[in-house]
A and B are shown apart, each in its own frame.
Chain A
Amino acid sequence: MATARAADEAPAPAAPAFDVKNAFRNICGFCHEDYGRKQGKGPQLMDNPNSDDYLFNRIRNGKPGRMAAFGGAFTDDQIREIVVFIRKLKPNENP
């Protein structure tokens, strides 16, 4: 099979600003299926009954064996954006 000869292509530029949807797709969706609208390895996030503070702390600090801590990967402001993203999830509308 022929191989790609794309050395002249420019590298993908780094994301200039926090893209919450990209972050969710990259990372969170591995466990929280369908943008968090369905239970997967992790629980459904849409209509989650826990408070915003609870979600913030869970994302920031994780829970051993159940969820990694993303406090090192994301700033507190970015985690708040993820919480807002979760709160806007709707059953039949892609975020």
Chain B
Amino acid sequence: MKRHSRKAITTASVAVLAGLAFGAQANEGILKRSANDWPSYHGDYKSWHYSDLNQINAGNVGKLTEAWSHVASRATRGLQGFPLAVDGVLYYSSPYNQVYALDGATGQMLWTYKQKLNEDLVAKQTHSPYNRGIAVGFGNVYMGTLDGKLVAIDAKTGKLNWETKLVNSEKLTVGFTGAPLLVKDKIIIGSQGGEWPWRGPIFGVDAKSGKEAWKFFVVGGNEGTASDRRDTWGGDSWKTGGGGGWMPGSYDADTDTVWWGTGNPAPLYDWAGDEWMTKGPRPGINLYTSSVILLNPDTGELKGYHQVLPHDAWDYDPASGELMLIEQGGKKYVVHPTKAGFVFVFDRTGKPVNVYKGVDNINFVQDIKPDGTLVGRRDMKEGKHGNLCPAIAGGYSWNSGAYSPKTGLLYKVGFEWCMDLEVVKTTPILEPMAQLNIGANFTFQPPKDGPARGHIRARDPVSGKVKWEMKFKVPPHGGLMATGGNLLFIPEADGWFSAVDAATGKVLWRHNNGQGHNGGTITYMAKGKQYVATVTGFGSLVGDAYGELWGEPWVSMPKDAGVLKVFALK
């Protein structure tokens, strides 16, 4: 850890920031979130992407208009993060690890932070230079960096308080792009991993000092502990197994448990076909990749897990997909839409109690039983294979869905797309620095039942029963947000930003933001007024496929521009 001369935030300076989210009990700021704030990537620990605010509602949203905006510099691949808002101040991150603090009511800039990056390294990264979000607490704004650090920025001044190097990105190429999660006095952050030949850890870092507290290796678990399952990797394949946990998880305070989705094994595809238990590049079930893991936030100890895809051979890792803490009929669940296009419903111990299809075009398995058992796997040997569904980008992508306790509905963008592929043998490239290990050549294709397309389905989160559906010729790729005003906000891929009736899906308001959306939407209060903020800019690893599939305007859409747009009632 590198400590700078600037002293760590003191109790006195914390007091300047009145809200719980920045107080000595920062955990409480998320746990007992004020409706006025959006203090964590998923809104709060329930991960609903929902706010109780209702000043803007289905009755008056037609009067919503742009209040102010902020242009991010070097917004290569667009803005892909979620802003946060605490005590009327809006914070957001942009590519190349830049962070901004703005007056939530006026947009007046309070400070800008630009991380000093190893630019030569960043230029060598394929999954870069975007950042998908930040965390706040203890007077700091926390961010993972492209070159493998966790940094704590003084929330009041924008100055660096400390930075801790966690990943040797110069050797492993990857670092951090996902948002950290503050739990109690720890910052928890998962590394990039799935495509790269290493062990993709998830880290716990002391939120005040920056000292690394624990590290959990997604590939094989931790040696010398009960979690050690390197025996689920043939030979030395655990050394180059991928893993990681590239999006933030959730926290169940009732059981003091962190829930996190993990990345896929490497190589993504496996030429051994159905002989994968004993042959191929990574024989075995490959714990704990493509799993949902339950961790002790204080120690990183593994408390439980469910491997969503034993020996994932399709890159449908559940690292993406929010883990929503939902109660229904007196029972507590965790609802998790996964990249495979299935929605998993767990009890709070991590045991699946229901699994249902969220999208129509799925053929990598025939089905998944309610207890999570895969039925009729499609394991593909070396050679050409047609019409694998969903495509590598997933039946659900990494941007979030939403859940409204008012309607009792889960909202999620689904993708109907497939691909042809040729599974090939590869050898990991480790020197002079690690490189992608894909294991297939592929090409996106429309599904057999029609053109490539998308939809938003509003459904009971536990049973999966659909109440209403919006169909899209081109699926949105921004995060959804639901509000107490009976609204669902949809950042669309062509630039339109829409608000629909959360109970019916009826479109109530639309505004064109001028370019596609790849990031999230939040709402907050500042000086007694409700604001809705979203971010623009296109060109993520998923968004880059839009031009290939749907042509214009995505072929010509800027890949280096992004704007924060903030709306309020006239």
Cβ-based interface call for A69 (8 A): yes
Contact between chains at B427 and A15 (CB < 8 Å)? yes
User: Could you say which residues of chain A place their CB within 8 Å of the CB of B404?
Assistant: none
Query: Which residues B427-474 have CB closer than 8 A to chain A?
Result: 427-430, 432-433, 435-444
Do the beta carbons of B438 and A26 come within 8 Å of each other? yes
- A38, B278: Cα distance in complex, Å: 34
SS class, residues of chain B in contact with chain A: loop
Q: Which of A14, A25, A30, A64 contacts B424 (CB 8 A)?
A: A25
Q: Does B124 lie within 8 Å of A29, measured CB to CB?
A: no
- Which residues of chain B have C-beta atoms less than 8 A from A1's C-beta? 285, 310
A27 engages B442 (CB within 8 Å): no
**A68: which B residues are within 8 A, CB to CB?**
123-126, 128
**B59 CB → nearest A CB, Å:** 42
Contact B124 A3 (CB under 8 A): no
Expressed in whole angstroms, the minimum distance between the Cβ of A10 and any Cβ of chain B is: 7
Contact call B441/A25, Cβ cutoff below 8 A? yes
Chain B residue contacts of A47, Cβ below 8 A: none
Question: Total A-B residue pairs with C-beta atoms closer than 8 Å?
Answer: 139
- CB-defined contacts of A65 to chain B, threshold 8 Å: 76-77, 95, 129, 539, 559-560
C-beta contact mask, A24-55 vs B, less than 8 Å → 1, else 0?
A: 01110111011100111110000000000000
Cα A68 to Cα B76 in complex, Å, equals 13
Q: Which residue of A lies closest to B233 (CB)?
A: A4
User: Once the chains bind, are A30 and B438 in contact (CB under 8 Å)?
Assistant: yes
A11 touches B432 (CB 8 A): no
The segment from B104-112, B331-339, B511-519, B540-548 that touches chain A is B540-548
Give the complex CA separation of A39 and B549 in angstroms: 10
Report the minimal beta-carbon distance from A49 to chain B, rounded to whole angstroms. 17
Q: How far is the CB of B369 from chain A (nearest CB, A)?
A: 14
Q: How far is B309's CA from A1's CA once the two chains are assembled, in angstroms?
A: 12
Whole-angstrom distance between the Cβ of B520 and the nearest chain A Cβ = 20
B553 at the interface (CB under 8 A from A): no
Which DSSP category, helix, strand, loop or mixed, fits chain A's interface?
loop
A residues in contact with B559, CB < 8 Å: 65-66
Q: Is there contact, CB below 8 Å, between A70 and B124? A: yes
| Pick from A9, A12, A26, A66: contact of B435, CB under 8 Å | A26
Among B235, B433, B443, B539, point to the contact of A73 (Cβ < 8 A): B433
B548 touching A27, Cβ below 8 Å: no
Q: Contact between B440 and A29 (Cβ–Cβ < 8 Å)?
A: yes
Out of A3, A23, A27, A62, name the residue touching B123 (CB < 8 Å): A62
Given A30-B438, A72-B120, verify A41-B281 contact (CB < 8 Å): no
Bound: A60/B500 CA distance, A = 47
| Chain A interface bracket (under 10, 10 to 19, 20 to 34, 35 or more) | 35 or more
Known contacts A29-B440, A33-B441, A64-B123; A40 and B548 CB within 8 A of each other? yes
Q: A25-B441, A26-B435, A65-B559 are in contact. Are A6 and B125 (CB under 8 A)?
A: no
Contacts of B439 in A (CB 8 A): 25-26
**Structural contact, B281 and A27, CB atoms closer than 8 A:** no
**Cβ distance A4 to chain B, nearest Cβ, rounded Å:** 3
> Which chain A residues border B195 with CB–CB below 8 Å?
30
Give the CA-CA distance A77 to B367 in the complex, in Å: 48
Query: Chain B's nearest CB lies how many Å from the CB of A27?
Result: 5
Chain B: minimal CB distance from A20 (Å) = 12
- Docked CA distance A11–B236 (Å): 5
Q: Does B395 contact A (CB under 8 A)?
A: no
User: What is the bound-complex CA distance between A2 and B232, given in angstroms?
Assistant: 9
Contacts of B229 in A (CB 8 A): 3
B residues less than 8 Å from A22 (CB atoms): 425-427, 429
Q: Are A4 and B285 in contact (CB under 8 A)?
A: yes
Q: Name A51-95 residues within 8 Å CB distance of B.
A: 61-62, 64-66, 68-73, 94
Please measure, in the bound complex, the distance between the C-alpha atom of A3 and the C-alpha atom of B287, giving whole angstroms: 9
- Considering residues B95, B435, B444, which has the most beta carbons from chain A within 10 angstroms of its beta carbon? B435
Alpha-carbon distance between A74 and B164 when the two chains are bound, in angstroms: 30
Residues in B whose Cβ lies below 8 Å from that of A62:
123-124
Query: Using a CB–CB distance below 8 Å, which chain A residues touch chain B?
Result: 1-7, 9-12, 14-15, 19, 22-23, 25-27, 29-31, 33-35, 38-42, 61-62, 64-66, 68-73, 94
- Beyond A1-B285, A68-B128, 13 additional contacts (C-beta under 8 Å) are A3-B232, A4-B284, A15-B429, A26-B435, A27-B436, A31-B544, A38-B443, A40-B444, A62-B124, A65-B76, A65-B95, A65-B539, A65-B560
Top-10 shortest CB links A-B: A4-B284, A6-B234, A65-B76, A11-B236, A41-B544, A9-B235, A33-B443, A69-B123, A29-B441, A68-B126
Can you report 9 residue pairs joining A to B where beta carbons are below 8 Å apart?
Answer: A23-B435, A25-B425, A25-B440, A27-B436, A30-B438, A33-B442, A42-B544, A69-B124, A73-B429
